Amino acid sequence: MAEHPRALEGIRVIDFSWIAVGPTSVKYLTNQGAEVIRLESTSHLDISRRIPPWKNDIVDINNCGVYINYNEDKYGITLNLRQPKGQELALRLISAADVVVENFTAGVMKRLGLDYDSLRQVRPDLVMCSLGLQGGTGPEASLPGVGITGQALAGVTHLTGWPDREPVATNVPYSDYTAPPFAALAIIGALEYRRRTGKGQHIDISQSECAMHCLETAVLDYTANGREQSRQGNYVPYAAPHGVYPCRGTERWVAIAVFTDEEWDGLCRTMGNPPWTAEPRFATMLGRLRHVADLDRLIGEWTRPYMAEQLVAMLQAAGVPSGLVASAEDLHSDPQLKHRQHFWELYQSVIGWHTVDGPAFRLSKTPAELKRGAPLQGEHNETVYREFLGLSEDEYVQLMVDGALE
């Protein structure tokens, strides 16, 4: 692919963040051309370097899929922030940076002497983004937590699962992936404000508050009607059928959602108008909602003999909203994703050639371009400390001996 300018070229980001939420937020900036220096510590290992999957099941901190999928194109360095010399190096890096991102528990950066008030002394127009689980202020700001607690605090877990069973958390740290778009947008907004005024600012983001935006009408229903929504499985009160139905093969499913009588007619025609579709109880949306358990069972009996791909094609041709319940294998072979070049193939010396997710949006004048895989731990120490900061060889070696680069 030909070289071209990207939207954020010339912006330098110092990435203190770890696990998923911060690195994912910064990934959006990296994909658009920002130069990102990611700080890690050998003595306090990033949790994402310990989470499977590992290629060929070889456990290695540089072979971890979670880390690799969110840190491409970044410069990776190690730095001991508990040492005064490490803190001094961090300040030198920040003095030549535009953006700082961190997602530690509230108060950690202040204890390290790297809070916003301290950092703007060395870079007055700095944009800093903090991604605490519950934000940086308030009575619970300093409480630690992870993805499963974030989605629980946000009310997501209360709504996830089946009405006759206990709440079920999502299998991924939900708030870690709802917060990054908010963070990236806020950072770009702050950079635009800085461009116009010459002033930086501190962005305080609550991961759990970001996740609350995905509750749909739960909060509104409570404030307007005093009604507590709860777990409903795939049921919604405005569409029937609305669920996933089995197809031929192992773990093959199709999602079907019918919102209008026209879509219901299309579904009936696709099914060959079996006699049960003419029963009065299924004639209207309200009737189908009242008898949704029977409706789901009957539709599941019809879908089971079909290949999922075949069924989706039939339903979509009849104007019925439907889709394959895609696995990772399905996604990698999906013609739509291939057309949009969603997956990028990159190289990293330990994992080799692999694919990562590209951005879900396309900028027509400044498209994203992913170039290299995620860094090995400390891979760019010499580049950053010697070339970017201009340390002499003796200074660099002494810092290593002193443990400041651990």
Q: Give me the long-range contacts of 397-403 (CB less than 8 A, separation at least 24).
A: 399/85, 399/89, 402/83, 402/85, 403/80, 403/83
Q: Which helix (H) or strand (E) holds 254?
A: strand 253-257
Query: Exposed, middle or buried, 200 (CB in 10 Å: 0-12/13-18/19+)?
Result: buried
Task: Give the C-alpha separation, 310 to 214, whole Å.
Answer: 32
Cβ proximity of 161 and 152 under 8 Å: no
For 348, counting Cβ atoms within 10 Å of its Cβ (0-12 exposed, 13-18 middle, 19+ buried), the class is buried
Nearest-CA neighbor of 256 among 305, 299, 297, 301? 299
The dihedrals phi and psi of 325, each to the nearest 5 degrees, come to: -80, 95
3 state DSSP class of 202: strand
Quickly list DSSP for 12-71.
Answer: EEEE---TTHHHHHHHHHHHTT-EEEEEE-SSS--GGGSPSPBGGG---TTSBHHHHHT-
Instruction: Provide CB contacts within 8 A for 376, sequence distance 6+.
Output: 62, 76, 348, 349, 350
Say which of 176, 265, 296, 357 is annotated catalytic: 176
Q: What's the gap between Cα 347 and its chain centre?
A: 22
Q: Is 176 a catalytic residue?
A: yes
Tokens 């696995």 belong to residue: 327
C-alpha pair distances (Å), 191 with each of 1, 56, 100, 175: 28, 42, 12, 24
Between CA 275 and CA 250 the distance in angstroms is 29
Q: Return the DSSP state at 386.
A: I
| Among candidate residues 295, 303, 243, the one with its CA nearest the CA of residue 271 | 303
Q: What secondary structure does DSSP assign to 169-184, as a single string?
A: --SS-HHHHHHHHHHH
Rounded to whole angstroms, the Cα distance separating 171 from 177 reads 12
Catalytic residues: 176
